[in-house]
Structure 1
Amino acid sequence: MSLDTVFGQVPDPQSYSFPEYALSQGDPVRPVALTADELTTLLDLYETFVRVDPSGVDSNPFFRATSDFLKQTFGTPLQRPDDQLHDDIAAMLNDFSDDLGGAELGVVDATPAHHRTLYFFLTSCKAYHLAPHLRFDPDEAAVQTLYDVYERVTEQEFYLKRPKSVLE
């Protein structure tokens, strides 16, 4: 499958909305089957994704000097817009790795935050790939794996993890 085919399946951000997560008395999760090979593939894709610098802050000496000046003058660092996304993806992959626990196949609990992170990871990969000024050509199989995991999450129903009784 080509990257354009996989990216063509990703819902359009202008019309996409996240489901309502307001479930009372517990933590809403979606249990999803995941293999160690899929997790390794997602980690490799993440490493490729993190190396892309869409803002030019790291690669442009003028931006770097401006960032250092702002940091020294105002005490506020100039952060790349994708830093938070990188942190979110890393946290999600760590959660999945912890849930898998070294097994070859397991069930991971995808939270609403994981669902959003998978979606933004997919759309950001698509944006990086389509941007003419960036060179981001990830492995097609890795992007397909990311989409497959995302699709599994969206197809599952929520259930309450650690449900609380009415008396608590």
Structure 2
Amino acid sequence: MDLTDVFEELPDPSAYSFPDYAIPQGDPVMPVAVTDDELHALLALYETFADVDPTGMDSNPFLANTTEFLQQTFGTPSYRPDEQLNEDVASMLNDFSEDLHGEGMGVVDATPKHHQTLYFFLISAKGYHMAPHIQFDPDPTAVETLYRIYQRVTEQDYYLKRPSTVLE
């Protein structure tokens, strides 16, 4: 699939909202199947993404609007998408890697934080790709893999991991 096709399928930031996972007595998770190949594709995409330095991103209206939207909607501080996001993506990939335990395929526990990180990773990758002054041309299959994993998380019901009970 072409990069433009993948990015056109992304949810519009102005119309997107995260579900409320605030439930007492437990950690909400969405168990999602991930293969080792998918994880390696995400790692390669992350390395490509982390190498980009979007100098002058304020002149890009898409990135400026995305940053403003994230500030207003989610109360996130103003920062270049690659600063905090790089740490969040690296942390998420480490979590997924630990859940796979080196197996060819396994189930990873995606948390609400992972859900948000996947979304911001997709939106920021789209912004980088659309910016004419940023040379970000990632592998289309890696972006498609990221989008498929994001879709799996959003389509998955969550359950409580380590639920607390009244007896504890």
Q: After TM superposition, is the score higher than 0.5?
A: yes
- 1:70 is matched with none
Would you say the 8 A contact 1:55–1:80 is kept in 2? no
Task: Give 1:55-134 correspondences, 5 Å limit.
Answer: 55=55, 81-134=81-134
Identity value in percent: 66
- 2:72 is matched with none
Partner Cα distance (1:166, 1:2) in 2: 52
User: What are structure 1's unaligned runs of at least 5 residues?
Assistant: 57-78
- CA 1:80–1:13: 2 relative to 1, 3 Å: closer
- 1:47 is matched with 47
Root-mean-square deviation (CA, aligned residues, Å) is 1.4
The count of aligned residue pairs is 147
3-state SS of paired residue (2:15): coil
**What is the TM-score with the length of structure 1 in the denominator?**
0.84
Deviations 1:62-121, CA, capped at 9 Å, x for gaps: xxxxxxxxxxxxxxxxx8552110000000000000000000000000000000000000
Q: Which has the higher helix share?
A: 2
Partner Cα distance (1:24, 1:5) in 2: 40
Query: Which ranges of 4 or more aligned residues in structure 1 deviate by more than 3 Å?
Result: none
- AA aligned opposite 1:38: E
Partner Cα distance (2:109, 2:81) in 1: 28
**What is the TM-score with the length of structure 2 in the denominator?**
0.84
- 1:36 is matched with 36
Partner Cα distance (1:110, 1:148) in 2: 14
- CA 1:81–1:105: 2 relative to 1, 3 Å: closer
Would you say the 8 A contact 2:31–2:156 is kept in 1? yes
User: What are structure 2's unaligned runs of at least 5 residues?
Assistant: 57-78
- 2:26 is matched with 26
